[in-house]
Every structure is written in C-alpha cells, then in structure tokens.
Structure 1
C-alpha cells in the first residue's frame, strides 16, 4: 500500500517551507504567483490529496483554543495565560492550557494533543521559533496559530511580544550610564530559548556601541537555574573579572542571583548592581525593588487572541505586533561613579 502524500512531501519537493505550501494548498495568505505554480505542479505530480479531517477542523468549530506555554510556574507565562484566558472567554472560547517545560518533544506532543481535541487555533510560546517541529506540525495541519513572546521564523507568521533585542540594548545603555564597565550577563541556555538569545544579542550590541566587552556570561537551565551557584562562586572566589553589575535575562534568574550573591557576601546594590527582565510582581515587592524591563504580559495574551481570531474569521494575513515595554528603575542599579544617570525611557 502506497504512503499518503503530505504537505511536508510537497514542501520538500519544491524546496519551500511547510508554512508556504500550507498557505497555497489552503488558499490562505499572500503568496507569489510563481510559488503557487510550483506548488500546484508538485501537487499534481505527487498526487497529493488534502486531508478531509484537517479541512473539517478548519471549517467546524469546537469553540476551544489551544495554549502551549513553557512553564506554568513562571509569572510571565502565568500572566500571559491570564490575559488570553480572559479575552478568549469574552469571545465565547474555552482555552486548553498545556506546559512544555522548555522541552521540544513536549512541545510537539502538546500540539498533537490539541489537534486531537480539534481546537480552533493555537496560541503558543515555543523554545525556538526558527527550528520548531511544533510549528511545522501546525503548518502541516493547516491550523491557525499565533506566537507569544517569540520572534517568528517568517515575517508572515503571526506573533505578539516585545522587541527583546532593543530592550536589552537599552539595559546595557542604562548600566553603562551608571558608570559600570565590568559587566556580566546571566541567562537561560541559548539552545533552550530564543528570547534569551535575542536579549543577549541586544545587550552585546548596547555594550559594543560604547566600546565595552561583556566580562562574564553565565548560562543556566531556564527551569531551575541549575549551575548558578557554582558559576557565581567560581567568579567571585577566584582571581579574574568580577562584574560590578549583572544583567539577568529574566526576573526569576535575577532574584536567584541576588540570593546567591548574598551567600557569597556580596550585597545588592551596595556591592553589585543588577537588572532583570519581565517586571514581575515579586521583583517589585522586594526591598530594594528590582530594576527591570517591564513587559505587558496580560496584553500580550489578549492581543494574541485577537490576532488569532483575525486569522480564523477574517482570513487576515496578520503578522501581529510588538508592544511597548518599560525599563523601570528600582533600587538594584546604583551609580558606580559620579556620572549622572539619564531619565529612563519608554518604548
């Protein structure tokens, strides 16, 4: 018995992405005429027949939306889920929320589970949008989706978030303005999260514009910060570059770093300055409050729902948007010199 030809086979035959082939086959979105002709020729040559189940999934409605987030315990994703839950319920949809625990295999498994429940669309944050098998599977199934917090693989992929690169570059400018020159960064592992990579790239760009090199880079498990204590002990208990300021790629890491620095006899901000990213409530409530990039997580969730609805009901090629962030001054970043600190800006 011959194997059923899939959209993936058509994509490989044409040398195109699954997303592009899916748009042609399902007549969704703008695609160049020559690309349409290539796909149609491949469909004819390979004998492709669209899945009736997938077509039914697109035309029928279960009034449910699938949601995949990396962590149920991270306040950023909890707030995002709260925002999308409120908005989806207002529109009459029920969200089905799953966690991937930053695991690629669990991301794909979650997508398969949601497809089995015949959700009307998916809202998700993946580890790495550039190489996500979960996104490829959604493209193949022809199910609309919207990324939250991720940078999309293609400009036409719907997404909602903030400009992580620019925000991190602004953090670098702020730390430099405070007089610091020996500066380190603590981040989730780059292979696990594209947000961490973008923030690292933006931070380096901000430093390099001032002719400053990153003194230390520490990467840890984004779930439980494994290795953070050992890394900081190695830096502060041995000769070498000991940063006077740190940028942490998220607030949970920032709070964990403060605790570990105190174990090493370094107080924040008396001995070491520190800036986080996300603006979670726990950082704002500590004393002194955490200096951090505040992201509009509730709005990211609600806006993602509206973006997904535009795809589903209006057949809109909506690429989403980047929302404003705010670098909020707390008490964990202090002057190292007498250089004046310029007012914080908002984008």
Structure 2
C-alpha cells in the first residue's frame, strides 16, 4: 500500500509510455511542489517504462499491473493500492501547465458536495483548439449521447477564453479526472469490464445518482495528445463506444425511461449502421453489430450490475443532462457550437 504524505495522488496509468514520460513527466514532477505526489502505474508494458521512471525520477513511486486488461482494469487494480484524499487519474499522454493543480484542489476543497472534476482540456497538436475528450465541460443529452462545450460531434472550437468559468457538468474526462478517494471506493470505482472508453462516465453517473456533483474548472488547463493507445476512428474505438454506451444506460438510467430509451437506441444505432452501409463502410457496420451482440449475449450480467448500482442511489442529480436531442440540434438544427444551444450549464 502506498500512503501519500500529501493529500493528492496524481496516478498515471502507462502502457509502453516511455516516449510520453520523456516529454511530459518532467513538468508533472516539477509542478508536484504545488501539493501532490506522483505515482506511475505500469500496465504490463513491454517497453522499459519502469526502468526509465525509476532511473530518471526517484521521487516518483511505481505500481506494476501483471496483466493488461485495459484502462479501466488498470486503474481499478492500482487505486486499491494507493491511499490519499484525492486521486487525479492522469493519462500518460497529457501535458500539464504551470499552475494547473491549485485551481482543481481549491475547487474540491471549496465544494464538499463535489465528488469529481476536470480541468480545461486542449489538443496538444493544435494547441488553441479544444480536445475531443472532455474539452470545456462534458454533458449528456436526453437520449444518452455525450457531447462537450468546445466539441460537439465533429466540430472542435478554438479556445478564446469563452469557457474559463467553473460549472457543474454531467461527467468529467477520465484523461484528467480529480476524484475524492473515499467516494471513489464507496461507489465501487471504475468498472473494469468497460475495458476502455466511457468508464469515467459510468463512474460519474453513479456518483451523481448518489447525490453528488461533478465539476469543470476552467482556470486549469492541460493538453492531450489523444489516440495514443486506441486511435481515433479505429474499429476498436468504435466497438467500445457503441458497446459501452448501451451498458451505461442499462446500469444507470431510470427504469421508467430505460423501457422506451433502450429500444429507441437500438433503432438509432441501426440507423447509424445503415448510414455507414450506404457508404460502403462494411467493417464499421460489422463492428457496431459486434458491439450490440456482445451486450445482448451478456444482458443478464449487465442487469445484475444495474441492481448493484440501484442499491447506491439516493437522490439522482440530473444537472448536466441536456433535455433536448443533441443529434437533432447538431445535424438538423445546425447548432455546431455549444453557445448555439438553448441552454446554459449551472455555475459552481
């Protein structure tokens, strides 16, 4: 068990990540003086990650995972071995900035009812642009589709300071996720069966169903390379996005709503597959079908998980759910940026 002497543990899950540690770990370690300890979790890498970290960063502690069973499983196993007040789950392909940590810590201290939060996330390659995962705060529409301020589907905004505020969101990005350690463990932690993608949304939804808040802190900025393990647009990413989105709904949505929403989502996913079929994207169509049949084949397992989640529900906090269809507003209403939407998020 690693017991942190400072109240925050920045936990970096790494798989063959030496090249990212060479780029980004020096700044993370330098900024640790502002109040955190750094722990690198090696997720069964085949490169020299552990040797590199131990040799070059003696203040960084390490944890080894024997078998790589994905992003969610890596953190699930590692965080059982780390004791702190706050965890910051930081992917290895993130670059932090000067002063990135204090605003996040201050926000968590100032809002005891806030279970988790994230900073502003910009794209490492196009540095003025928001990044896909998390951007300027993340939300869900009434049909279970995810989107962000700064990124709606295929449209990315440039950061002009328009999202420098602190707001309540529906979910915080797992790439740079600050979470209260006690609540993380009480709620059951990341679900290792998600493997990768949307596992943080599942965690945040469970926390919100237990009455807690999720925040976005716009005065802290980090940069994300993105797609460093599972590349954007790959069949593997498409598979987990479709599969895990359905599992999210089964585990966490209200029963009365799930009765009509789940069949509707099957129709909508079928329409998405049909659109790809007309374009000759046969591999993607097969991937969507594979994702669905995985869910159907283990439906009993996911409803058992739903019963587990239901026991932890107190007062559902639905702040951050957009009460309209983001699909309709984007594709038919031509609302390409967040400020076009007839809705404003709640300030912290």
TM, length-normalised to structure 2: 0.27
Specify which structure has the higher proportion of strand.
2
- Asked which structure has the greater CA Rg, the reply is 1
TM, length-normalised to structure 1: 0.27
